[in-house]
Amino acid sequence: MQVKNVPFVVRVKNSMRLLILCFAATRLLMYRFLHRRKKNFDHLFAVKIRQTFESLGPVYIKLGQILSMRPDYINDVYCHEFEHLLDSGRPISRSKMRKYLNRVAQPNQRDIVESLGQPVAVASLSEVYKVELASGTFAVKVLRPDVRDIVQEDFYILRRLVSIFGNRFGRLDRKHWIDLVREVESWLLQETDYIHEMKNIEAMRRDLDSFDNILIPRAYPEFSNQYIFVMDWVEGYSMLDLIRMKRKDELPHFHFSLEEKLEELIHDVAIKSLLRGYFHADLNPANIIITPEGKIGLIDFGLIKFFSKEARRGTVLFLLGITSNSPELIFKSAELFAKNKSTFNREEVYEDLSKLLYDYSGMAAKDVSSTKVILDILKLSLHQGFEYPWSLILYTRSAVNLDGQVLRLHPHFSFSDYGKKRLLEVYTEAFIKEHASVSHLVDVSEDIVSVLQDLPRNLKIILQDIVLRKHKTAN
């Protein structure tokens, strides 16, 4: 984007925003310099950063939310403090919210709007209210005022910054960094469109209807619009609630195994989405509910992404390679996805992948962070000058987030041990559906021959399981 094409008023506004961001960064640096020797510095600094993120708005609150689930990258003190950004942000003042609602609410939404009290959760883009009416109990999401404008302003500044400094980071060119910023901006803007979210929730209700253990709330489009979204209230404990309770050793007693429920969450919500061809790309712990009946409730559908057939195959190969510690499978996914296939050094990529996985091979499965392995491989691919598609990046981001939540509640869970066989089932079932030719199935299965040697059960048994399940469904 050329600066001369931007209206003068917008340029002044963006310049003021840039000054605010620079001032906020300077204040944090000064605080760190002046207080770094205090005994409880990390806690004080974490609070300061969290407050700064809140004051800067949705883009930075979203950054804090992502960091809150990354104890392998930042200190636990910071993770715990940033968790407040998931559901306990700074609410809009009641007077300002009332004026806003009077402006954006439709006539048939007046009863609902007038029933709103204090928000039960405040996130980066919206406030959530619990409304009890004679007809039932509902969750009402209200988009925060001017949030789209703020997102666009911040990303305009980021695009300008990377257009200036992009070539100075890593081996990627300026265009790559601009594309990256634009893609992340599109993710956030999608989450600000409740019409889009209503379509997503109906698609997931339809496709997950056969899953007795998954609860997707009903949306009410007749009482919703772009700014206000009404759906059924889902009663239960969020994953965030459970993580906080676990930290205090106060987990409730369920009549079901929480560990098994968490494994179902990984299998049915994350891994099985590779068969559906699309996935929930924003599985943060405030958006997942474990109900008293033992169902898994999903309550936020702003970011749903789709796979092409090629992307789905490559994503499963990528994850199979990680769970099986196989550089061959990861390299195959890299070859499948690399956009500039003639420019990256294949021997160097394979050597770097082998070395990376060798560093993890001597560790016990419970001590290996799948999150860290995935991110190390993605960083390696960027360093080598090629990039995986956005569907894989978003899927792994979502899987990494979910894996981090499960590990907080189920410390002995190993995605590598659990995911290997189940990913192979998905790989096999997907290609049975897509290819009628047995010889073709044999050809594509050559990709995973090395994996089969390490599996506790062979391909024949897995195929029999799939056939039996199909017969049960048919009957």
pLDDT in tens, 328-360: 777 777 777 655 454 666 777 777 778 777 766
3-state secondary structure of 368: coil
How far, CA to CA in Å, does 98 sit from each of 102, 103, 221, 224, 432? 6, 9, 22, 17, 55
Over residues 73-97, the mean pLDDT reads 78
In this model, does residue 30 exceed pLDDT 90?
Answer: yes
Instruction: Write down the pTM of the prediction.
Output: 0.71
Query: Which DSSP string do the residues of 210-222 spell out, in sequence order?
Result: T-TTEE-PPB-GG
DSSP 146: T
Vertex 50: Cα angle to 395 and 242 (nearest 5): 60
Distances (CA, A) of 192 to 178, 328, 335, 411: 21, 40, 35, 35
Examine the pLDDT at 236 and tell me if it is beyond 90. Answer: yes
Higher-pLDDT residue of 452 and 471 is 471
CB count within 10 Å of CB 276 equals 14
Where residue 216 falls among pLDDT bands split at 50, 70, 90? very high
60, 20 contact by CB (below 8 A): no
Provide the β-strand partners of residue 141: 128, 229
pLDDT in tens, 119-165: 888 877 888 999 988 888 999 999 988 888 888 888 888 777 767 66
**φ, ψ at 257 (rounded to 5°):** -85, 120
The identity of residue 348, as a single letter, is E
Q: pLDDT-derived band of residue 456, with 50, 70 and 90 as boundaries?
A: very low
